[in-house]
Amino acid sequence: MHPLTGSIKRYDWGSHDAIPAILGIEDDGRPLAEYWLGAHPSGPARIDDGVPLDDAISQNPAMAGDSTRLEFEGRLPYLMKLLSAGRPLSLQAHPNRIDAQAGFARENAEEIPLDAPERTFKDPWDKPELLIALTEFDALAGFRAPEASAELFAGLGICNDSQKVFTPLLSRGGRAGLAEVFMNCLVTDDERTAAVTDVVAAAINHVDDEGELGDFARTAVTLDEHFPGDPSLLAALLLTRHHLKPGEALYLQPGRLHSYLHGTGVEVMGNSDNVLRGGLTSKHIDPSALAQVVNFTTIPIVPMLAEQELPGLWRYPTDERSFACWRLELIPGRMIELPGELSGRILLATRGEIGVSQGQDDLVLVQGQAAFLEAGRQVQISGDGQGFLTATGMDA
């Protein structure tokens, strides 16, 4: 069992105070977007003796468990993060394993450096993800039915010229019409620039409306505040808006387009750095790769609730092979026992105190502290706090 210190990421979309408050560090006025707890080479956590976690696992693979060796080439297959969005993130999707392998091989053959701005595939791994809200959390995720989106744009009262931009939603319908409008809205031209102006101006008149039209209008106005005049704002409006309460989660499989708007949460994902951006960003966009990766299905994404496995232990039912995640809501005086068959685990305390025993080792975690629990050893957890536990999904 090893105390774990994460890696701080200061992206400009991050909030200033939420993660410092959890970690118990000073808010220095700079955005702090993410706190990584894992073994990703771009920001590995460090165990108690200062060794990066990826190096420690490479030197002692048994600490991460057999599944990392058998299926994941000896690498820890998951990454846990604290994430806090002060403003909207880019519109993005992540590849499945097949697309990641093909894209990584293609860009290697083209000799595009891994750190080049135009590099899209940084590794050959997929990146499913689970976002669990710690605060009220707003996100865009999953395409709305094209007929419903066409009705919402019409409900704003936009002019006929702007309405033409969205005609394929009805004239072609289905995935084809949705894909056509989405990809066209990634292009900056006079027609779409005018449509953005018209949509936002019309939306201002509906920000006090109730129901879906009001949410739609408020989303348009909010995105325009951060990305004024950007046609990809229109693409983002094709997605469903979700409002999560603390404890609720969004499970995003590869290919599902999304953008986190505002709030703080715990994020668990496949250990990959593959991000295909589709707008609301100044960074590189690869439309052809994006079109191949994005899933244009309109099957709704439903916020996920955890399922109780034991008193005080709640699991988010993702059925992913790379990760499994539990929320701990500990009951004073009651101990939770975790079997030794689980892979190497990361435990993060988000409130109160959590006592951990593994063999002869004992550790107390307070809010913001984390530990890596080695595979193959039974663990007892007790206390009065809240925390999140991640393991390899194959062993859960």
Give catalytic residues, as residue numbers. 277
Angle at 27 between CA 26 and CA 32, to 5 degrees: 120
Q: How far apart are CA 290 and CA 307, in angstroms?
A: 34
Q: How far apart are CA 44 and CA 5, in angstroms?
A: 9
**16: nearest Cα among 264, 326, 220, 298:** 264
Residue carrying structure tokens 């105190």? 353
Beta-strand runs (E) in 182-317: 239-244, 249-252, 258-270, 276-277, 307-310, 313-316
The crossing angle, in degrees rounded to 10, of helices 190-204 and 146-156 is: 70
Phi, then psi, of 55 in degrees rounded to 5: -65, -40
Cα dist. 76→70, 98, 254, 396 in Å?
11, 19, 19, 15
